[in-house]
Amino acid sequence: MTVKLPRFTFWRGVFVFVVLAGIYASYVRFTQGLGAATNLSDQFPWGIWVGFDVLCGVMLAAGGFTLMAAVHIFNVERFKPIGRATLLTAFLGYVLVVVALMFDLGRPYRIWHPLVMWNPRSVMFEVAWCVMLYTTVLSLEFAPVVFERLRLERPMRILRAISIPLVIAGVILSTLHQSSLGSLYLIVPQKLHPFWYSPLLPVFFFISAIAVGLAMTIFESSLSAKHFRRQLELPLLQELGRILMVVLGVYLVLRVQDLYHRGALRMVLEPGYETYLFMLEMALGLVLPLGLLLNRRMRESQGGLYLAAVLVVLGFITNRLNVSITGMEAAAGVHYIPKWTEIAITASIIAIGFFIFALAARYLAIFPEERPQAELRMPAELSHVAAD
């Protein structure tokens, strides 16, 4: 019997290279420690693994609670066709956040300690519990898709019976920890640059999570339609685009008002490293996508929606990196540039996430018109009946 190997393409080559680099970097991290694998120090202990993998990872996975709340709590059933893909993105996102956190912890084998060592006055303790509970909720929300594939009717019926309480629990947990990630930085008013420190940080983190959740749903639906040669649910994405426009508008008004009242707005006239990155964040995340979405022709076109979604995602990734890295550098007296091993581990985690999503989309009924391949293969005797 001959084994048919997958066809080698450019992107498959990139994937293999990134994963191999990530494996070597992981070896360095777990055998030689954080000092050998990162450019972190006592003065600057949080780098790209917290700034991107955790803060951005949780934000990018926010589409799950946004869409599930719309479908199951506000009864907006028309978003149901894109619900499973969004749920899968959220579930994978949170699992990969937990994996990424293992690299940043000095003693990763103690990640379970918050379960038994309670510190209810700590924001980080609340975030840890919320992330653990919400990842569990997401696994239970997504489990029916797997049970459907395995034809396990009884557990599927049980989970569907408790689906509404699960969705409500998921929305509450998401609201708590999305805003609490911003609360982590409320204790450093003297260290975080005025462009990013604000008493409203929890509110900004929560609203930006909703915006990025909507943008990620548009982005992921567009990529899936192209990759799997499916018809794009353009009317649904157009509606998400309109909601995204409103959310971005609210965020922009709040942000500008906050900067003005704190006296930080005039600092945009002062040239400098922080000013340039602040302007980049505002342009990518707010000004350019709002300009596109306010134009009806662009907002209703596939290309315009996709471009706006990509800009929003890039803009708010820049925002989270500015809050966690750029805004903290001056007070720490260091200029942090991640070591290649840090970048390799982050890139390999992202690549593995895309790979698992592609596998799930191929073998599970993620999209409404898709059915698992095993179900599509009709038994020979039935095919004769069908042909007759």
Q: CA 70, CA 68: separation in Å to the nearest integer?
A: 5
Percent of the chain residues topping a pLDDT of 90: 44
Greatest distance between any 2 Cα atoms in the chain: 79
| Cβ neighbours for 2, distance < 8 A, ≥ 6 positions apart | none
For residue 183, the number of C-alpha atoms closer than 13 Å in the C-beta half-sphere is: 14
pLDDT value at residue 4: 65
The secondary structure of 217-269 as a DSSP string is: HHHHHHHHHHHTT----HHHHHHHHHHHHHHHHHHHHHHHHHHHHTT-GGGGG
Tokens 């290309």: give the residue. 303
CA nearest to 259, candidates 273, 274, 243, 244: 274
Q: CA 150, CA 147: separation in Å to the nearest integer?
A: 5
The top-scoring range by mean pLDDT among 112-116, 346-350, 359-363, 376-380 is 346-350
* Assigned token pair, 255: 């942000």
Q: CA 104, CA 329: separation in Å to the nearest integer?
A: 19
Q: Is the pLDDT of residue 246 over 50?
A: yes
Q: Is the pLDDT of residue 316 over 60?
A: yes
| pLDDT tier at 168, thresholds 50, 70, 90 | confident
Rounded to 5°, the CA angle 215-218-222 comes to: 140
Q: Give the three-state DSSP class for 91.
A: helix
**CB-based contact 341:29 (threshold 8 Å):** yes
pLDDT in tens, 325-364: 999 999 999 899 999 999 999 999 999 998 998 899 888 8
Arithmetic mean of pLDDT over the chain: 86
pLDDT in tens, 180-228: 888 889 989 989 999 999 999 999 999 999 999 899 889 888 887 887 7
CA nearest to 338, candidates 40, 12, 8, 2: 40
**CB-based contact 112:85 (threshold 8 Å):** no
Tell me how crowded residue 31 is: count the other CB atoms within 10 A of its CB: 9
CA nearest to 20, candidates 305, 251, 272, 347: 347
Alpha helices in the chain (DSSP H): 10-32, 34-37, 48, 57-60, 63-68, 83-104, 123-150, 153-161, 163-183, 201-227, 234-261, 273-282, 288-294, 296-299, 302-321, 327-332, 340-363, 373-376, 380-387
| Cβ neighbours for 222, distance < 8 A, ≥ 6 positions apart | 232, 237, 302, 305, 306, 309
* Assigned token pair, 122: 């700590």
pLDDT in tens, 95-109: 999 999 999 998 989
* Assigned token pair, 121: 């006055």
* Assigned token pair, 279: 């302007």
Q: CA 63, CA 309: separation in Å to the nearest integer?
A: 12
Q: CA 53, CA 338: separation in Å to the nearest integer?
A: 13
* Assigned token pair, 246: 């409103």
